[in-house]
Amino acid sequence: MGSSIFLILVSSIITILPLTTAQFCLNQFNFTANSTFPKARNVLFSSLAANVTDRGGFFTATLPLDSNDTLYALGLCRGDLLNETCFNCISAASQAVIDNCTNHKEAIALWDHCMVRYSNRYFFNVMDTRPAVFGWALNNVSANYVDEFDGVLSPLVDELRVRAATGSSTLKFATGDHNYTVFDNRIYAAVQCVPTLSSGDCNNCLSGAIDDYTSCCLLRTYVNIWRPSCSFRFQLSPFLESTVGAAPPPPPSPVTLSLPPPPPTNATGKEGNRSNMNQTAIIIAVPILSITFLLIALACAFLLLTKKHNVKRRYNSGSLSNLAWIRSAANLFRASRQNGTHQAGKYWKIEF
């Protein structure tokens, strides 16, 4: 048992750069300097950033080397990143892997903005949960809002997990935010899976990452968990570069129009023109008080019919599409509030 642990520790060279990057050099079977493996890796990595950016933030490559070896490589950017940020992250992570894992047949860089990975074994649709990196703020949520915070975060991340798991073969990424106090203090969260994972494996990987949060850093104001197959992050200030991964706006509520009762069956031939109108409101009142007022009643009816004809012409000149409907919409732009969360001290942990 001790020798196994020793081999794992020795074969895993970890480099932590200011709170946002981690490289793991894995696989105890190394290649020699004269083999084709490092040359192929270096050539592939030289264009990895461009390939990832050109394909929307995700790229895989398979390169057969000989009858006994194949190089598999992957680059993935966080789903909200702009092209420039994505390119720079993949480029730097690729170089960091080459520099730190010079003769390893398997390595992975887990960075805040992206992930780079290569191996001589196929891993594209395999769920890997270790090695993992956990980061969290040293400060906790205010004791006055613990219940509110937990009551909002749990359903929020569950919703994001389901949305990400049901994503496409090119993007499994979901984001969301929600206030947890009456003062509009908000939680911002994002989850992501390697797009080649199945929906079930993505769901399981994210469920495990959320379980990691409950065991390592419950109620912290910032948490970032990176796994080889998925990631989970939340904090109390905005951190996304775009709205990719946000939930689509809800459809407008259906409008129900109340139609008036049909006109009397003894209507004249002008009824054929009425059927082409969008709305017709007809009210005919013929007061019959006595025979004495018969002529007056007929005159009133005539005047009402004339007025009705004018109303129908006005309605016929426009359609419902010309009516001004007021719809409530979410405010897509919220001012960033400096609440000190991202400036607070953070603690980082690595788990194999």
What integer pLDDT is reported at residue 164 of this predicted model? Answer: 98
Q: How many CA atoms lie within 13 A of 128 on its CB side?
A: 22
Q: List the chain domain ranges.
A: 8-124, 135-248
pLDDT tens-digit series, residues 115-149: 999 999 999 999 999 999 999 999 999 999 999 99
Confidence band for 32, pLDDT divided at 50, 70 and 90: confident
- Residues 6 or more apart whose CB falls under 8 angstroms from that of 191 comprise 157, 160, 161, 164, 173, 174, 175, 206, 209, 230, 231, 232, 233
Domain spanning 135-248: CATH 3.30.430.20: yes
pTM: 0.68
pLDDT > 90? residue 293: no
pLDDT > 80? residue 12: no
pLDDT > 70? residue 17: no
pLDDT > 70? residue 213: yes
Confidence band for 262, pLDDT divided at 50, 70 and 90: low
Least confident residue range of 24-28, 54-58, 194-198, 228-232? 24-28
What integer pLDDT is reported at residue 27 of this predicted model? Answer: 77
CATH class of the structural domain 8-124: alpha beta
Residues 255-266, mean pLDDT to the nearest whole number: 47
